[in-house]
Amino acid sequence: MPYSIGLQAATLAFLHAGFPTQFTIAIIAFLLIVYTISFFKDEEPDAPAKLPGSSLAAIHPFFRRRFDFLNWGFHATGTNMFQFQLLRNQVIVTSGEKAREAFFSARGLDLTEGFKILSGALPMLKGVTSDLQSRTRGSIYKRLAAVQRNGSLSDLIPAILEDSRRIMEGWGSFGSFDPFDRVYEVVFQTTVRSLTCSEIADDPVIVARLKVLYDRLDHGTTPATVLLPWFPSPALLKKLWATKEIYEIVTRAIDARERSGVWQNDTLQMLLDAKEERLVIVGFIMGLLIAGARATGTTASWLIMYLGIHQDWRAKAATEVDALLAAYPPPSATEPTPVQAQSLSSQLSHIPLEAWESSLPTLDAMIRETLRVAQPHAAMRRNLGPDMHMDGKRIPTGAYVVYPFADVHLDPEIYADPSKFDPTRPEETKVPFGYVGWGGGKTVCLGTRLAKLELKMVAALFLLGFKHSVQSESGAPPEPNWNDLHMARPPKGSFCVQYERTGVPL
């Protein structure tokens, strides 16, 4: 009898409590139920080993110190594959050659679904950037391929160099900066130029606002916003508002173009001329813009870092760009021309696309090595079905699968002294998927060609327009922090790039 009276009193107290209290109690109860179910769930013989300890204890390290957490998981289970729960989401982390082959080759593993739950840093609008039908995805991929055709990329070369010149001019004659701020800003602008429209790319205020909004999506991603997307936390509300602003910026630009009727040679015009649906156009710009800017911006920042740390490689790369300029002089090089026409950016703009892509082997090797040692990514997929096996372990339908790039890129059996930056390393061809800097199998980065071109042009302009070196508080070269999920950025304030202008006009 006392128990029933106590239960009745507790029920009445709950019903009369305010909404915040009821909501908090409901969340706690939900988490306890999920934990209890996962704890008593029977383990099947071919299931990956379970991570020891409470599943709730895995949430924070997975999102905040993922590199250390995944390494600990392999060590704690003593296996090359383990599983744990992120609330109701079953996550399987895999490693090793056999699992890697299966991971990058399996048809049922979906990239978009994986990142939607486990990353959460993309602007999510149903039917625009998420929950896309296969036809819509196909249209977006097709248009991204069109942006990277020879003619389109060739047209972009002068615009990308001019954008880079304008921003670098603002740095002054000498000083110091954090490349993960300044160099990233350059790449964000060039990516906006490449994937949006002149209405946005020509307005520095709008571009700066977009960068702030996308940064807000990155920094506002918390375990709660990813795992409990229906919970109106302050972080989630900020993310929703940022997504709304990004959507409005893009749609205003589309409206302005349609009202003007003026044809422009840019990506938006290509999408409009192809008669794509409005939601496809908006989704293309919103989703691909940040995906391209973040990945390429990280690589560019570390490329400038390594060029400053390794002055011998800097000299080789600069000599290579000088040779390319000599091989392709501007048509008016022998005639009196204004200073601006003979600027470095103008000269570089006359180098044809095929030369940028095939005649800079030093920069190619440095980009490849930068992606290997300073790309803190873990590939994420969701098994959409049917059940599959990976290295003898069952991956059930609906499970999320994670493969950390460090498993192959920092493997000393594949890459001797793997943390060392060494562009002389030969390309790995003996080990299946021995290099996944641009993805692998059925999920190779579709923007690779554009990204490489951006990286080379930004590096070329900086190499010939500036002298630079990297300084750190400790005196030792800064090392990538693989726990920083987006940029592998060392502790802020512990390093800087010191620079001074050369005598060549940008």
Dist CA 238 CA 235 (whole Å): 5
Q: Does a structural domain hold residue 33?
A: no
Q: Are 89 and 117 in contact (CB under 8 A)?
A: yes
Q: What is the pLDDT of residue 22?
A: 46
- Residue 109 domain-assigned? no
Instruction: Grade residue 8 by pLDDT with cuts at 50, 70 and 90.
Output: very low
Query: CA-CA distances (angstroms) from residue 234 to 28, 210, 220, 224?
Result: 18, 20, 9, 10
pLDDT at 360 over 50: yes
What pLDDT score was predicted for residue 4?
44
Residue 208 inside a domain? The answer is yes
pLDDT of amino acid 246: 92
Cα 11 from Cα 26, distance rounded (Å)? 13
Residue 71 lies in a domain: no
Residues 439 and 445 sit within 8 Å (Cβ to Cβ): yes
Confidence at residue 143, expressed as pLDDT on a 0 to 100 scale: 79
Partners of 439 in beta bridges = 437
pLDDT at 411 over 90: yes
Long-range contacts: 314-317, Cβ < 8 Å, 24+?
314/463, 314/468, 316/362, 317/360, 317/362, 317/363, 317/366, 317/459, 317/463
Domain hosting residue 140, numbered range: 134-501
Structure tokens given for 324: 């390319």
In three-state secondary structure terms, 433 is coil
Q: Tabulate helix, strand, coil % of the chain (nearest 5).
A: 55, 10, 30
80-110: per-residue pLDDT in tens? 999 999 888 899 999 999 999 999 998 889 8
Give first-to-last CA distance, the chain, whole Å: 86
Contacts of 372 (CB under 8 A, 6+ apart): 409, 415, 435, 437
The structure tokens listed for 274 are: 């192809």
- Give the pLDDT score at 118: 57
Q: How far is CA 300 from CA 165, 187, 307, in A?
A: 16, 8, 10
In a domain, 412, yes or no: yes
* 354 vs 103: CA distance, rounded Å: 34
pLDDT, tens digit, 9 for 90 and up, residues 235-269: 778 888 888 899 999 999 999 999 998 999 999 99
Please report whether residue 293 resides in a domain: yes
Please say if the pLDDT value at position 363 is more than 70.
yes
User: In percent, how much of the chain has pLDDT > 90?
Assistant: 58
Q: How many domains does the chain have?
A: 1
Cα–Cα dist 37/488, whole Å: 36
H-assigned helices in 87-178: 97-105, 111-118, 134-147, 150-169
In terms of residues, how long is the chain?
506
pLDDT tens-digit readout, 334-347: 554 444 458 999 99
pLDDT band (50, 70, 90) for residue 456: very high
Please compute Rg for the chain using Cα positions. 25
User: Within a domain: residue 407?
Assistant: yes
- Predicted confidence (pLDDT) at residue 366 exceeds the cutoff of 70: yes
Q: How far is CA 247 from CA 26, 123, 251, 283, 344, in A?
A: 33, 9, 6, 9, 36
Q: What is the pLDDT of residues 471-486, one digit of tens each?
A: 998 888 999 999 998 8
The whole-number pLDDT of residue 14 equals: 46
In a domain, 74, yes or no: no
| E strand map for 36-149 | 49-50, 81-86, 89-94, 109-110
pLDDT at 3 over 50: no
Indicate which CATH number applies to the domain containing 331: 1.10.630.10
Indicate whether 458 pLDDT > 90: yes
**Mean pLDDT, the chain, whole residue set:** 85
Q: Which amino acid makes up residue 295?
A: A
pTM for the full predicted model:
0.87
Q: What is the pairing mode between strands 495-501 and 378-383?
A: unpaired
Summarised one tens digit per residue, pLDDT across range 301-329 is: 999 999 999 999 999 999 999 999 999 98
123-146 confidence digits (pLDDT tens): 555 545 445 556 666 677 777 787
Phi, then psi, of 51 in degrees rounded to 5? -70, 135
pLDDT band, residue 37 (cuts 50/70/90): very low
